[in-house]
């Protein structure tokens, strides 16, 4: 077993979906020697994962400030300290700009801006001996994608809060960074992957020639979490070079799907 994270205690919020990005990151942290506390909204799946990893689990809704602070109290109780804090929560709302309403904006803001703000506050308070805060952002916080404005805006805003945390608390040995994947092969995108031609429309935007995986993101998270990392306040574009180019337009996606569907008939 690797020991890059040996002796460290990590909190991973957003790990309640089977084999989602949060779970992949948590597994990789354990492989690197960390003790991991996993959290999210679904107790049964979290307990299963904690049993698999030999760690601990608790429920936490990131939009509830009291629950977020209780998560870090729980982590310190179980692990004695907190060295790493990863927020992997999110909601991939796709809705046209003119049709996005107040309820959706408030929900998105609570989940992807206000909640992460609470998460960073609680992590900073818990990290008495320095540490690494990692926010899972998105390539679309930098480049455009259709019908995604509320998601992109809140992700971009939170990225800037990460910079504020890095600047203010670096003197305490706390690093704060974001990771920005593009379209990623995860359970969340499983249905989209089955649509003929849909993923193909994205591949042309990746200089490295393939869609990213949760394992790609987890590998970057390990480095950010390790003592090898001398970086803070940055947004790492872990997306195969996508942000050097662009996402496909809506018309390009529709054309790719139409071509693939026609080829199958």
Q: Which of 151, 199, 202, 206 is catalytic?
A: 151
Nearest residue to 241 (alpha-carbon basis) of 206, 195, 196, 215: 206
Residue 15 near residue 44 (C-beta atoms within 8 A): no
Angle at which helices 214-225 and 21-31 pack, to 10 degrees?
Answer: 50
Q: How open is the CA angle 216-219-225, to the nearest 5 degrees?
A: 140
Contact status, residue 81 vs residue 9, Cβ threshold 8 Å: yes
Q: Is 151 designated active site?
A: yes
Measure Cα distances from 191 to 47, 129, 200 in Å: 26, 43, 14
Burial of 179 (0-12, 13-18, 19+ CB in 10 A): buried
* Contact status, residue 197 vs residue 244, Cβ threshold 8 Å: no
Instruction: Evaluate whether 196 touches 140 at the Cβ level (below 8 Å).
Output: no
Beta strands in 41-79 (DSSP E): 56-59
Distance CA 101, CA 159 (A): 23
Q: State both tokens at 188.
A: 């969340």
Residues involved in catalysis: 151
């Amino acid at each position: 077993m690797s020991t890059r994270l040996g002796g460290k205690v990590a909190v991973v919020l957003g790990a309640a979906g089977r084999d989602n990005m949060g779970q992949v990151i948590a597994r990789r942290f354990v492989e690197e020697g960390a003790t991991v506390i996993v959290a999210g909204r679904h107790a049964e799946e979290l307990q299963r994962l904690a049993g698999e990893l030999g760690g601990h689990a608790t429920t936490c809704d990131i939009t509830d400030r009291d629950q977020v602070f209780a998560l870090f109290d729980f982590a310190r109780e179980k692990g004695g300290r907190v060295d790493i804090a990863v927020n992997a929560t999110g909601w991939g709302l796709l809705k046209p700009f003119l049709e996005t309403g107040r309820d959706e904006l408030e929900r998105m803001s609570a989940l992807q801006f206000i909640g992460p703000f609470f998460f960073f506050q609680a992590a900073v308070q818990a990290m008495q001996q320095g540490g690494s805060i990692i926010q899972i952002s998105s390539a679309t916080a930098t480049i455009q994608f259709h019908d995604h404005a509320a998601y992109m805006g809140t992700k971009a805003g939170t990225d800037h809060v990460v910079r504020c945390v890095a600047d203010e608390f670096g003197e305490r040995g706390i690093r704060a960074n974001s990771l920005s994947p593009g379209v990623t092969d995860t359970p969340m995108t499983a249905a989209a992957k089955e649509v003929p031609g849909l993923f193909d429309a994205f591949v042309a935007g990746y200089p490295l020639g393939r869609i990213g995986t949760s394992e790609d993101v987890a590998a970057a998270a390990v480095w950010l979490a390790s003592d090898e990392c001398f970086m803070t306040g940055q947004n790492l574009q872990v997306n195969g070079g996508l942000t050097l180019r662009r996402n496909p337009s809506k018309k390009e996606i529709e054309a790719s799907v139409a071509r693939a569907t026609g080829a199958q008939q």
